[in-house]
């Protein structure tokens, strides 16, 4: 007969192995999240934006997983592809193939991106070079007006909140209220610190990874204080403005995800819900 201590040891061991085993499995089990954004002033056909963030190509996120994500994005046929920053983890050597799986995706209305905290401290210049080489237009305190038929879409993006110099005034200087306005900031907490002159229709962020381990009743147990728990996954209402925070693609610190799978966000913009 085994002792009570040994029995407990086996139970904890079995639980630990299952926890890690499941977490390792879920980190590759991506989900497509569909977001419908009806815009009153929208004219004509809907458009589809795919939003990917926190790729974190690195020791925990391999090239084959990013290729799977890229294949899925191809099938979704986005009109616009947006990256929310944090392309790498641990070393800028991973830049050699962090974005290349997405190079052959060429949406009609372009590929856009902002910088995340890991990009800034692992090698900002090198990340910017890689974005250029992979045809991703960097929105670093900058806006761009896309004219598509009768539609006008303003995209603006800011530098990272903690490791860069985000500047909303500079980033949204040329934006007018005659189109659909979409803002991107790696860190969702940036949006709380600013006042908009022209109200955006949608804000996009990542950074939190949804907590990576998000347990029922306990919530995101490993979320760092710098991430903040206020806006950590999903859709929020920020004084009447929609803010969507994606769980992201890759992982950092621990190669696990539990009840928090990687996500490809599909944003459907239309005049009415369709």
263 binds Fe ion (CB under 5 A): no
Smallest distance, Å, CB 208 to Fe ion?
8
Q: 158 with 114: CB under 8 angstroms?
A: yes
Question: CB 239 → Fe ion: shortest distance, Å?
Answer: 26
Nearer to Fe ion, 42 or 231 (CB): 231
Position of minimal CB gap to Fe ion: 86
Pairing mode of beta strands 241-245, 47-52:
unpaired
Which CB, 151 or 209, lies closer to Fe ion? Answer: 209
Number of residues that bind Fe ion (CB under 5 A): 2
Q: Which is nearer to Fe ion, 86 or 142 (CB)?
A: 86
d(CA 153, CA 35): 17
Closest C-alpha among 159, 149, 140 to residue 179 = 149
Measured from the Cβ of residue 174, the count of other Cβ atoms closer than 10 Å reads 11
* 86 lies in the site for Fe ion, by CB under 5 A: yes
DSSP state of 213: B
Q: Does 119 bind Fe ion (CB under 5 A)?
A: no
User: Residues 85, 117, 182, 268: is their CA dihedral positive or negative?
Assistant: positive
Least separation in angstroms between CB 206 and Fe ion:
6
Q: Are 48 and 267 in contact (CB under 8 A)?
A: yes
Q: Is the CB of 172 or the CB of 265 nearer to Fe ion? A: 265
Confirm or reject binding of residue 160 to Fe ion (CB under 5 A). Answer: no
Backbone φ and ψ for 135, nearest 5 degrees, come out as: 60, 30
Identify the three-state secondary structure at position 65.
helix
Q: How far is the CB of 99 from Fe ion (least distance, A)?
A: 15
Applying CB under 5 A, which of residues 26, 33, 54, 79 lies at the interface with Fe ion? 54
Distance CA 149, CA 53 (A): 28
Please tell me whether residue 33 binds Fe ion under the rule CB under 5 A.
Answer: no
- Rounded to the nearest whole angstrom, what is the least distance from the CB of residue 115 to Fe ion in the complex? 11
Chain residues in the site for Fe ion (CB under 5 A): 54, 86
């Amino acid at each position: 007969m085994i002792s009570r201590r040994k029995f407990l040891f086996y139970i904890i061991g079995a639980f630990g192995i299952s926890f890690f085993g499941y977490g390792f499995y879920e980190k590759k089990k991506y989900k497509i999240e569909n977001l419908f954004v009806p815009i009153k002033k929208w004219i004509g056909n809907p458009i589809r934006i795919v939003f990917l963030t926190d790729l974190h190509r690195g020791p925990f996120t391999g090239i084959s997983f990013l290729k799977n994500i890229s294949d899925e994005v191809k099938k979704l046929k986005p009109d616009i592809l947006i990256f929310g920053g944090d392309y790498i983890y641990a070393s800028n050597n991973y830049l050699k193939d962090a974005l290349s799986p997405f190079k052959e995706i060429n949406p009609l209305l372009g590929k856009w991106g902002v910088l995340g905290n890991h990009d800034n401290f692992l090698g900002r210049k090198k990340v910017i070079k890689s974005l250029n080489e992979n045809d991703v237009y960097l929105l670093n305190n900058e806006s761009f007006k896309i004219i598509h038929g009768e539609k006008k879409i303003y995209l603006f993006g800011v530098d990272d909140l903690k490791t860069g110099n985000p500047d909303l005034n500079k980033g949204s200087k040329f934006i007018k209220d005659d189109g659909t306005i979409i803002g991107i900031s790696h860190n969702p907490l940036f949006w709380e610190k600013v006042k908009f002159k022209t109200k955006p229709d949608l804000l996009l962020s990542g950074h939190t990874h949804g907590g990576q381990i998000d347990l029922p009743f306990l919530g995101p147990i490993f979320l760092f204080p710098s991430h903040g728990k206020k806006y950590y996954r999903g859709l929020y209402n920020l004084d009447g403005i929609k803010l969507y925070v994606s769980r992201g693609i890759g992982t950092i610190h621990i190669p696990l995800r539990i009840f928090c799978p990687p996500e490809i966000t599909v944003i459907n913009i239309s005049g009415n819900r369709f």
